[in-house]
Structure 1
């Protein structure tokens, strides 16, 4: 039955995509579920973010091909946040106050989500991020600031930073310097990594003088020099692609990076980034041998979703695509369970359809059919089991990746953050 429903959904995607394209130009509908996406198609994170709206659209098309939500097709309005908090906040305001969406999948950059989530909360709109990993959201949620209108399908950096610290220890690094983008993502990751690495017995060379760069700076030569000073075994860079490539290129041109391993994070997990950093005179990547972590995907739905993705988009599945899919699917299942197309309905039913003792189901068409029949489900996603806790967080696995000499990326291992916690 599962394969049959997937085949039916796949065959109807073209029609559903046409319908969704029409709906985006007409955002008025009679009590239908309207969702927004707020992702970086341009700006510093565009190399990773460009596939996110494609995944969200595919999720909506799939559910629409299976009958929609609460008897009507779902409308999706997509916005580019430009990896900019000001632009993202303005786009969120439009989605909420003009388009009147019930939920938003986004954003990716933590700084953009920080700007957007207050708008969502004030207007009782559910927001699920596929990739904003700053620990600050956990703290704010625990303090009751979001009233339940926030969740994320990617685990917070309170898990990823310890995972990277475990990786660093296993590599034999004893002395590490840090350089981070000066925003919620960079500073939050730095704080968690420092604590985890020191807990494992390591030394942070520049702990008393952390290097935090302004993404608007014209040059980053001095920041590069400061980051690689003090004879570290490795340098942790919590970066975005466009500005991070400038910083690492500056370190290479100053002769600072010889013999020093660069540790990286999910924010630059893209071959566009490694190509921007550049190559040596011999044609090898400047940062060949760099190691990084990125939230992995290991959910029950991953194999079927990968097949659907390949058949319908023809695109390579990149990081955070499964997380974007799961965020959209979970939101639509929650609305169906609520029997109403509101942000409050989604909020109140999100955990009910993704955790607990209900029937485990990974096919979204089967899941929504079971809900219509009055059954309780436990949706198992493509990124993971999407069991949201009280703060809207999930626990995930982490892939270890490396930069090859030709600037390509390879996943070479996995790492468990619990070893450092």
Structure 2
């Protein structure tokens, strides 16, 4: 579904259909006034979001989707950017690379956005960034964590039009490897979704765990499942073969729940610790995996890691969320807020509402020197006055480096006997 937000509220109109949306079967067609990606600030800053509200990552993506319109509403209530309101166009990428590419094509060529918050899945961001870069659209992902993006940035593939507010999986893999080592696990196996996220994480984990003296028993025959698979008997059997101390499962929620349910139903998990990652950390995942005949949650006792949030702006963000929406924001919502904040702050710093302008200033507004600010409106005010700022976000300090990366903190979480997920520790991994 595509939505358009302006200072006047939500407006949805009909758009001419076309092949650009061919892969977005579930998207609504909409219209909005578009402009070329030029330095004309009179048209106002236009940004998009490309996040999964349907598909394999919907249970996590839906938790972050509310952050971007909330940021835009906040900014438009404090004079907007470059003297004009910000317009937001939301697109559901369906956790599908084809839909993500089509969505980014629409945002870049029809809507003429300057920047995009998204995507979440690394495979979708890989498809979308190939459209964003040649169209000079600044893309800031709140959750694509594959190490491949660092490598491509180092090779110059992105030309500065890529950044992310969640750290790469080289760090999360190290955090999980250290967690496994601390718990005394010496023999582990891996099972991962066969895409950029899963394979990149697997490789980083193997390297980190072996460096700590551990053994990955299926290193030479890794178990990687098809993202479109519907049955997982073969993969479950292979992952748990030989009764390793633990199985590191790098999954997406919809398919991952089926794989783990298969393993439990076949009695493969008895005596084996399940280690999970961010792709499945949502309140609904234990229920998706299911319960035993006596009503116990199958996933109880599983432990995992997820990029956490410890930024100076976190308390204010949580309070704003509670005031506007009620309850608490979910996983990656702070990272999505920060991604949108960096887009608007960089546009203001550049004094132009273009992707190239944002790309030229995004590191400047996110790093020292400059006055540290946690409030996006305060940051915009200082930038209007010609001052430099160093934005301190809700997810962290979001110091964007030359590769578009940040280094974050990780939450260690567990599934309790009642099916709830509790954060039990925090860790900031450091390479040895």
| Corresponding residue number in structure 2 for 1:22 | 11
Q: Which runs of 5+ in 2 are unaligned?
A: 14-29, 35-41
Deviation at 1:267? 0.2
Stretches of 4+ aligned residues off by more than 2 angstroms:
22-27
| Corresponding residue number in structure 1 for 2:75 | 63
1:334-367 deviations in whole A, cap 9, x for unaligned? 0001000000000000011110210001011111
Q: Tell me which of 301, 324, 328 is aligned to 2:336.
A: 324
| Corresponding residue number in structure 2 for 1:297 | 309
| Corresponding residue number in structure 1 for 2:294 | 282
Q: Does 1:86 align with 2:98?
A: yes
Q: Does 1:41 align with 2:30?
A: no
State which drifts further: 24-33 or 98-107. Answer: 24-33
| Corresponding residue number in structure 1 for 2:16 | none
| Corresponding residue number in structure 2 for 1:390 | 402
| Corresponding residue number in structure 2 for 1:188 | 200
| Corresponding residue number in structure 2 for 1:105 | 117
Cα 1:70–1:17, aligned 2, differ >3 Å: closer, same or farther? Answer: closer
Q: Which runs of 5+ in 1 are unaligned?
A: 1-15
Q: Aligned equivalents of 2:245 and 2:342: distance in 1?
A: 43
The RMSD of aligned alpha carbons is: 1.3
TM-score w.r.t. length of structure 1:
0.94
1:121-167 deviations in whole A, cap 9, x for unaligned? 01000000000000000000000000000000000001000000000
Q: Tell me which of 395, 406, 417 is aligned to 1:405.
A: 417
Q: Does 1:205 align with 2:220?
A: no
Q: Is the 8 A contact 1:166 1:415 kept in 2?
A: no
Structure richer in helix, relative to its length: 1
| Corresponding residue number in structure 2 for 1:137 | 149
Q: Aligned equivalents of 1:416 and 1:352: distance in 2?
A: 24
Deviation at 1:18? 6.5
1:184-231 deviations in whole A, cap 9, x for unaligned? 000000000000000000000101100000021221011000000022
| Corresponding residue number in structure 2 for 1:313 | 325
Three-state SS of the structure 1 residue aligned to 2:401 is: coil
Three-state SS of the structure 2 residue aligned to 1:382 is: coil
| Corresponding residue number in structure 1 for 2:22 | none
Query: How many aligned residue pairs are there?
Result: 405
| Corresponding residue number in structure 1 for 2:357 | 345
State which drifts further: 121-130 or 351-360. Answer: 351-360
| Corresponding residue number in structure 1 for 2:229 | 217
Q: Aligned equivalents of 2:118 and 2:208: distance in 1?
A: 28
Q: Aligned equivalents of 2:239 and 2:99: distance in 1?
A: 30
| Corresponding residue number in structure 2 for 1:12 | none
Three-state SS of the structure 1 residue aligned to 2:224 is: strand
Three-state SS of the structure 2 residue aligned to 1:271 is: coil
